[in-house]
Amino acid sequence: MATDCLTDAEIASLRDVPPGAAPGKLAQHLASCDRCQARALFGAARSPGKKREMPALPSLGRALALLAMVVLALLGFFWTLTRLTGPPD
């Protein structure tokens, strides 16, 4: 099935038809192909007019700051855990 997957334009055309009205060949492939189902649901070319900008990726600085906060939260959690269980003897 991987050889004759739907094109982005075909998937975009399937989005706009009412349920049950899709062309048989396209609907048949979509029903049996995980890859095209995922593309139809989560991302492929959209029909013109519904185009949206992709959200900007977070900058490296913000990603590192988030990572640092996660590490701090983990350290805090383990520190609290050692206080709760008592110091090792």
Residues in contact with Zn ion by CB under 5 A are 5, 33, 35-36
Q: What is the dihedral of CA 9, 12, 13, 14, to 10 degrees?
A: 130
Nearer to Zn ion, 22 or 36 (CB): 36
| Least distance between Zn ion and beta carbon 31 (Å) | 10
Nearer to Zn ion, 3 or 59 (CB): 3
Nearer to Zn ion, 2 or 54 (CB): 2
**In 53-84, which positions are buried (b, 16+ CB within 10 angstroms) versus exposed (e)?**
eeeeeeeeeeeeeeeeeeeeeeeeeeeeeeee
| Least distance between Zn ion and beta carbon 30 (Å) | 7
